[in-house]
Chain A
Amino acid sequence: MAGHATMRCGEFRTSYRADTTIFPTPMSRNFALGGVVLLVLAPLVLNAYYLNLLIQIGYYGIAALGLNILVGFTGQISLGHAAFFGFGAFASAWINNSFGIPVILSIPLAGVLTTAVGMIVGVPAGRIKGLYLAIATLASQFILEDFFARAEWFTGGSSGSLANSISLFGYSMSSDQSYFYVVLFFVVVMFLFGANLLRTRDGRAFVAVRDHYLSAEIMGINLTKYRILSFGISSFYAGIGGALYGHYLGFVSAEGFTILLSIQFLGMVIIGGLGSVMGALLGTTFMVLLPEVMTSLVGSVGDMLPGLSQGVAYIKQMAIGLAIILFLIFEPDGLAHRWKMVKAYWKLYPFSY
């Protein structure tokens, strides 16, 4: 494949090394690089509203990738992801407010703290499966939520805590334009790390645990270790995403990290595609943009039928629910799978397979 810009119509890889590149073809790599370059230019042309949406996709996307590593790659269901997301937000604000450590450092530190918490939750979770695991992670969601509301020293209790904006070399990054670059940096780093993780020995062990835990154990994979590790890495992602969210809003309160957000994260990875790095980003994009698209659609319908304008909010909520349900019925493998199908179509054209 090396050096070839065109896509060939068969499998010509002759080494494992060639089979596990991050990007399957130079073209896809160039596209990804081009995408990043376009995003770097985005603040020059987009207004604050679109940047706000992109920033949301960024921090939710990082957290969704973490959940995808846990659910999609290791096969461990989690209903407590929002709590770790929240923990990261509180931890970063707390580190910055209490110790005066600059925000740019408190964000990764918050990720590390969240990893520790995630691993603690992962210890019992490493020994149970399926529904039992779902309930255990649900419990961690509620325990952490209650902790947020009570731990005044850490979270400011029910009043929440203020999170300072990032400043680098005396330059404040509080505007959407500048904060966008901070988020973009973390997105690129975290997604590269995620994509690479799955090419490593440990990443392959995750997949083995997901596919057949018994076979994995017979091959010598330590199940408990890898399940806990998966929880830890997933929490690290949630913590980084949460910290970015906290410093973006400038205020962190316990009410933002409920079970609903946990379910939304699950929605992101299922819609995007379980077990796909790109799927995490696609699913997040879908979930963030859907309400906005619905608002504009329903808004224009409301203008045509004035009687509807009172119910616009409800129609919007129902439409979002409906879109998700239709998606799961007609696209159970997620957006990433659809993308693969689109690529395969062009690759095999004019034949169907």
Chain B
Amino acid sequence: MNKCVIPAAMAAALAGLMAGTASAADSITVGHLAAYTGPTSDVGKPYGQGIADAMNYINANGGIDGSQLSFETVDYSYNAPQAIATYKRWMASNPAPVAIQGWGTADTEALVKFVTNDEVFFMSASYSGHLTDPMGKSERTKAAAPYNFFYGPSYSDGCRGVVQWASEDWKAKGGEGKPKFVHMGDNHPYPNAPKEACAAYAEELGFEVLNPIVYSLKPGDFKAQCLSLKESGANYAYLANTSGSNISLVKSCATVGVDTQFISNVWGWDENAQAAAGDAGYGIAWVVGAAGWNSDAPGMETVRAVSRMSDPSGNEARVLHYMRAVCGVFFMHDAMLAAEKMDGGVTGTNIKAAMEQMTDHVPAGLEGVCLPSTWTPDDHRGTNQVLVYKSTPNGFENVYTATLERRPEWLGW
């Protein structure tokens, strides 16, 4: 320990780096954590683009009652520690964000306590059931998550919805005996989130639940896992990873000759995945949380205008996740508008309070695109409607809509 770095010299070398976003008095600071790189970048890119476009669109159209959203996008590569470091940097900056549009399950769950202490409104792209319990009533939640929100059915409810469809599908096919169900995913908070809840519901519906099979979030050769799947004789396999690794999996399984019916979650399949997987992808059934790009819902006008923020030509077809991102931002936008009329203006606490007053709310201009959502101070399950789509050679078809009960014991699970 001979000489130490002299901070002043360092400061000089790095001067101006932390200028940050210049903030006018009439701007609202929002943080945006995105995963443009890393194992979930396949779905992280379109979603993150949707968030950025929607916020830019809001700014271009008068902001929040005249206040601009000042936001910084940080690509954290799906690495939870990096997300937390970014969060700490944001909170130390002036002005600190009042709201954050986040991404993954690991980082969102790790930040629950932080955002609760700092009273920051946090909308994640993680739909983990653990985030639906604002009061910490459930025995299954580690910590109450009063400031956490997400748009769409939780992973657990989504999985329950597709399992419901699978149960109907089994009857329609005239299946004999107990159908076999298996959960497949990486050993990571996100694929694990619905594991137990969904298995319990599958048993309730008369499935035989087999031992889970692990396959990586990073795309690779999954023939070994497919052989295990084939040997297990599972009728329905729930894929809990994102589309990138699911493409590899369905292709590997097609090679091995698996005839299991694949079901998946909201991140598990999209237009890009179908294009990459080809014939191997047809037949998969999964959860969809908003209208598709080619939908003729009235709200798609707004979505197309949002899309032109980064694609002025308007030629780019956006995948499913883009629409959900737009919905998420517009719910936040409506809550901010309401918060501005409250005492104290647009603070994290007021945005939260405004969100919790929404009942069957659809943001103005997005009719038919976003699912009507309801949040209350003791229940953050925004919607219990699960749209199940199936991929066919003629495109994506809505084959089933499950409306799940709001069982109290399912809160936070």
Contacts and interface: CB of A to CB of B under 8 A. Distances in A.
Contacts of A39: 4, 7
B3 A32 contact: yes
Contacts of A32: 1-4
Contacts of B89: 48-49, 52
A166 interface: no
Given A251-B84, A253-B81, A48 B92 contact: yes
A251 B109 CA distance: 10
A95 B48 CA distance: 38
B22 interface: no
Most chain A C-beta atoms within 10 Å of own C-beta, residue among B7, B14, B80:
B7
Contacts of B79: 255-256
Contact of A159 (B7, B114, B189): B189
B1 A28 contact: no
Interface string A58-78: 000000000000000000000
Interface string B335-348: 00000000000000
Contacts of A52: 85, 88-89, 92
B76 to A, nearest CB: 11
Most chain B C-beta atoms within 10 Å of own C-beta, residue among A32, A36, A253, A296:
A253
A281 B4 CA distance: 8
Given A46-B11, A54-B7, A313-B75, A253 B2 contact: no
Contacts of A176: 88, 92
Interface residues of B, number: 38
B187 A35 contact: no
B188 interface: yes
Interface in B78-95: 79-81, 84-85, 88-89, 92-93
Nearest to A43: B7
Majority-rule SS of B interface residues: helix
B302 to A, nearest CB: 25
Interface in A136-173: 149-150, 157-160, 162
Interface in A90-146: none
B103 interface: no
A24 to B, nearest CB: 8
A189 B313 CA distance: 61
A46 B7 contact: yes
Contacts of A295: 17
Interface residues on A, range: 35 or more
Majority-rule SS of A interface residues: helix
Interface stretch (A9-17, A228-236, A285-293): A285-293
Contacts of A277: 1-2
A185 interface: no
A3 to B, nearest CB: 20
A341 to B, nearest CB: 14
A52 B18 CA distance: 12
A47 B109 CA distance: 28
Given A158-B192, A249-B85, A293-B14, A50 B92 contact: no
12 contacts: A32-B1, A32-B3, A38-B8, A49-B93, A54-B7, A158-B188, A255-B79, A277-B2, A278-B2, A278-B3, A299-B17, A313-B75
Interface of A: 23, 28, 31-32, 35-36, 38-39, 42, 45-50, 52-54, 57, 149-150, 157-160, 162, 176, 188, 191-192, 194-195, 249-251, 253, 255-256, 277-278, 281, 285, 289, 292-293, 295-296, 299, 313, 339
Given A160-B110, A251-B111, A255-B106, 9 more contacts: A35-B5, A45-B7, A54-B7, A159-B192, A162-B110, A289-B13, A289-B14, A292-B17, A293-B14
